[in-house]
Amino acid sequence: MEKNLKIEELEYRLEFSSEKIAAKLDKALANAREQQEAEQKRKEQRVISSPTDDDEQLSQSDDSEYEGESDSSLESLSSGFYSMSDTDSITAMLEAAEQNEPENSEDEDIDIISQSDENDQQEASEQQATTQHVIAQPTEDDEGILALSGDFVGQWLTSGHSWGRLPSMYYAMSETSPAPMTAVPEPEPTNAQTQQEEQEESPVQRVIEQSLDDIETPALSADPDPLEAIDSWQPVLPPVSCKMSETLPGVSIASSIGLRPTMEDAHIATHFTIKAGGEDVPISILGVFDGHGTKEVADHAAQHIVKFLTKWLELYNAESLTDEKIWNAIKIALVDLSRSSHCALGGSTACVALIIKNDLWIANLGDSRAILVNRNGEDIQLSEDAKPENEIYKTSIEKRGGFVGNALGIYRVNNNLAPARALADHHLGGAVCSRAKITQYPLTDFSGCLVLVCDGVTEVFTTKEIGDIARDALNENDPTVNIAERIAKESLRKGTTDNVSAVVAPLGDAD
């Protein structure tokens, strides 16, 4: 009776061990299939990878552990399986177990079961830890990341394969916190490998390398300062129209649209003759007209001013030519010119110079400017900028029914017009007067030039700066130099935002 109980107990233990062995066999077979599939996948993808030293040891240890366990499992399983099919073998095993059975067999059985569960848990945790490590290496034609399992890496390392010459990257990626990327340096090849690679070098490769060596590399700039190119950079200036007068020798004219969408300036440089006191009196005229709101008034003034000047100069000086009569004739001629314009909106400044006999007469309306530039360094401003904030002009505006307002820091007539005197501007209801301020200057023993400019120049240069530009060009003693062009271009370089016009006439010894 007691013997039968022991036999049943042994059969139960044998059945339990057989089930455990079968489970291990299935697991070993699954691992073997995974290894074969990974090997096949490696052959198809031809992946080259190189883990770090620490990870290589980890992969090798994991792989060797599984390999050893698989081998032992197969051996034990094969012996147990064939023993179960043979009755005599089973009886022998039971007898041997009965003779060698310890007294605490029940406790031992419980320990075996618990140890088996602990081994299964440890194997599962080791398998999870191993699969967290990924070896990745982009191929030459694909920049994607190819992932391989830790088991395959261990098998790859233990099989003695070469990693090749390409440097590889190892990524340790965890599900919770990704590890940083670590670069593995490329191992230096041995002398034997180097000689073999040199021998295997193709003739085409040698020709290509020789051709590359023959290419001359241009020398880099010796300039250590990279900002020199920026300092020497010049902005692209708006075009400047320049010419020399055909009727007045030496007179230069220049104009540019600047940064404005339209060109509203006009100019004049010519001569005409009047009858005064029974004789012909030649007169040279220079003028700059800066239109506002439209170019119509400026063009009208440049085209018709000679007609109105001739009319009133001859009328006032029919018997004799005197300074008082010249003064009155110029003043009324500009008023008549202003009234002759039928422009509904807009007007124009007028800075006009007349050379009558040996005197220079300047008539100015608005903020254009006339400057005498002497060779000895003296600059004389012969015109006065008509600004609304000037008390004299402000009083005149208010008497005519207008007012002076401050719009964005600029004083304007009726909050509209910047100059206090101008041609036309009929839309302001007569608030702007067209009576010019006239200046007379004798040209005896004078050597230099006369400069007429619009406010596009005076907004960036003072009278002294304009005189310096003209004087430097004048002292070059080159008749082909266009002084007006230099003034215009320098104004554009200085950053003027308005139209630019300049007329320059040599006077005295400079003629």
Q: What is the pLDDT of residue 101?
A: 47
Residue with the larger pLDDT of the pair 163 and 16 = 16
**Rama region for 57: left / alpha / beta (φ>0; ψ in -120 to 50; rest):** alpha
Could you state, in order of their start, the residue ranges of all structural domains in the chain?
A: 2-183, 241-386+421-508
Residue 476, C-beta contacts closer than 8 angstroms, at least 6 positions apart: none
Give the sheet arrangement for strand 169-172, strand by strand. Answer: 133-136, 169-172, 182-183
Amino acid making up residue 481:
V
Q: What is the pLDDT of residue 100?
A: 52
Strand-pair category, 500-508 with 252-256: antiparallel
> Is 330 within 8 Å of 350 (Cβ atoms)?
no
Residue with the larger pLDDT of the pair 90 and 76 = 90
pLDDT at 158 over 80: no
Closest CA to 353 of 448, 291, 435, 268: 268
- Strand boundaries in 1-87, DSSP class E: none
Q: Is residue 352 exposed (0-12), middle (13-18) or buried (19+ Cβ within 10 Å)?
A: buried
Residue with the larger pLDDT of the pair 434 and 91 = 434
% the chain with pLDDT above 70: 58
Determine the Cα–Cα distance for residues 398 and 342; give it in Å rounded to an integer.
Answer: 24
CATH code linked to domain 241-386+421-508: 3.60.40.10
| 3-class DSSP state of 369 | strand
Q: What is the pLDDT of residue 254?
A: 97
What is the 8-class DSSP label of residue 220?
A: P
Got the DSSP string for 404-415? EEEETTEEEETT
Q: Residue 384's CB: how many other CB atoms inside 10 A?
A: 17
Least confident of 107-121, 240-254, 329-343, 373-387: 107-121
Closest CA to 109 of 236, 13, 237: 13
- The b/e string for 458-496 (b: 16+ C-beta within 10 A; e otherwise) is bebbebebbbbbbbebbeeeeeeebbbbbbbbbbbeeeb
Instruction: Give the pTM.
Output: 0.57
Q: What six digits make up the tokens of 231?
A: 């300092």
CA 310 to chain centre: 59
